[in-house]
Structure 1
């Protein structure tokens, strides 16, 4: 009986959050270990389906770097990275788009649908969802050409909103189009942040392979722009975490209420972050 009461208490803990977020949009960037380990893939899909049944509108934006690396290697196509960005030639872009939109995207759609959801897979090119221009890169005063790597300049949310009205769950691959009609490779965190801002989402959640933002080995949360900048200036936030927190700050500046960087290696981390008092990652607002 005590275990049953404990389960009920957990449900009651979630009640205020279910009420608060009912009818709201939450954008979730899906990547890392959560896309690789079977038990984590299953728990993520369950989380997304449950959110939808609770009256919340999840929008999933995904990455797929390891799958791209595998196919490029199989095709004997060299891949170079500059400051975390994959130099994307036309040949590489063809592989990136094929893997992200043609394979990974549909795998995620099948996963969510298999757990009882109604997911639809699209890319940023569909319905002119995301327009992008070339991402400028200057290293040591020299401008480098990253090829078809882009930064999002405009988001049209019409397609997402129409899917939401019909109770579909959008699953979006981070491919945009340029004014010239070229496919553009977009960082998945950046794509998720741009879409969240355009939707005025309640939350942006980035799944990572760390506990969240760590300072001196300890998880920190309840951050604002000033504290984040202080941690960057002091060297406490470094490397790949910098673009993630900058993505969160950009999303907040564009109307997102709260952003979260959470540990995707923990089963049901999305639900725990949204529906529990403590959460499982770092909050930036």
Structure 2
């Protein structure tokens, strides 16, 4: 067993391996084992994207984490994004791309590119990365076995008034029905499902679904023990820019109301609240720039992100 400087949270530093003493190894195992027992045979949905997807070392560390979870008796389910890669491909093909309230306007040519990039490129890259680390990953999308049936988004809240207004953003969907049978079959075997957030409408149309939204709907339907949202931020910060390790639903709502949580973090935390209220035990906004952030979150006492739970408790994992 080795220790790396990158595991201390310095994502920019090159990993420097140093041997751990027997005492250090025992301490690490003693801290991890209760959490291993807690998550045994439980489902953990992990939304993967952002900075970690474009960094070779972070990508490798993530793949290792997923394999370790499966080998430890946990059922990891990976849902991935791919916004930057989609944007890059659209730019190469000279296809204009606009956004409304953070969602990509997706016409017919664009949705074809979205499906190609998400399902044909990114999904298989993640599958291959996990397999190279000794796992057995299988790539699917929300269209397989009608996993995710969605409806076109036709109205959204106005940023100023927050009142609903009609919009036409093309083939962009919101989850309508989740049929997790295919994921359950895969997870009960030695395979690891890796899911592209492309859904199907009742009319048979391909719809692009935001990866956070897709992962949240799937976690809620499967009553996952945890939903982990890997992001490019540390989590929710207090007024002194220090990480807030955990929030109850009530505390999170108060912080949104007071303005302590603002900007792009508002919809993310509102989504966390909805998922917890739907039955998921806890949702964590994690800094995906930290190597092995998934293992650190699940198997250490303090984690590496902000945990949103129904009840106010100390940061322990119970």
- Which residue matches 2:45? 27
Q: CA deviation at 1:4?
A: 2.3
- Could you tell me how far apart the structure 2 residues matched to 1:101 and 1:164 are? 19
Q: Which moved more, 1:177-186 or 1:211-220?
A: 211-220
If the length of structure 1 is used for normalisation, what is the TM-score? 0.97
- Which residue matches 1:76? 94
Per-residue CA deviation, residues 216-273 of structure 1 (Å, 9 max, x unaligned), is 2121132122211111112221222122112211211221111101110000010000
2:204 is the counterpart of 1:199: no
2:306 is the counterpart of 1:275: no
- Which residue matches 2:193? 170
Per-residue CA deviation, residues 124-153 of structure 1 (Å, 9 max, x unaligned), is 000100010112225366422111111101
- Could you tell me how far apart the structure 1 residues matched to 2:210 and 2:263 are? 15
Counterpart contact for 1:128–1:156, Cα < 8 Å? yes
Counterpart contact for 2:283–2:307, Cα < 8 Å? yes
- Could you tell me how far apart the structure 1 residues matched to 2:268 and 2:140 are? 23
- Could you tell me how far apart the structure 2 residues matched to 1:227 and 1:87 are? 34
Between Structure 1 and Structure 2, the one with more helix by share is: 1
- Which residue matches 1:225? 249
Counterpart contact for 1:137–1:146, Cα < 8 Å? no
Q: CA deviation at 1:2?
A: 7.4
RMSD: 1.3
- Which residue matches 2:156? 137
- Which residue matches 1:155? 178
- Could you tell me how far apart the structure 1 residues matched to 2:27 and 2:305 are? 22
Pick the aligned partner of 1:188 from 211, 227, 251: 211
Partner SS state of residue 283, structure 1: strand
- Which residue matches 1:62? 80
If the length of structure 2 is used for normalisation, what is the TM-score? 0.87
Structure 2 residues without counterparts, runs of 5 or longer:
1-18, 310-318
2:276 is the counterpart of 1:258: no
Q: Which moved more, 1:266-275 or 1:223-232?
A: 223-232
- Could you tell me how far apart the structure 2 residues matched to 1:2 and 1:36 are? 30
- Could you tell me how far apart the structure 2 residues matched to 1:76 and 1:259 are? 38
Structure 1 residues without counterparts, runs of 5 or longer:
none
Counterpart contact for 1:61–1:171, Cα < 8 Å? yes
- Could you tell me how far apart the structure 1 residues matched to 2:69 and 2:97 are? 37
Matches within 5 A, 1:120-135: 120-135=138-153
Per-residue CA deviation, residues 68-126 of structure 1 (Å, 9 max, x unaligned), is 01000000000001110101111110111100011000000000000000100000000
How many residues of Structure 1 are paired with residues of Structure 2 in the alignment? 285
2:110 is the counterpart of 1:92: yes
- Could you tell me how far apart the structure 1 residues matched to 2:172 and 2:123 are? 19
- Which residue matches 2:136? 118
Per-residue CA deviation, residues 41-84 of structure 1 (Å, 9 max, x unaligned), is 00000000000000000000000011001000000000001110
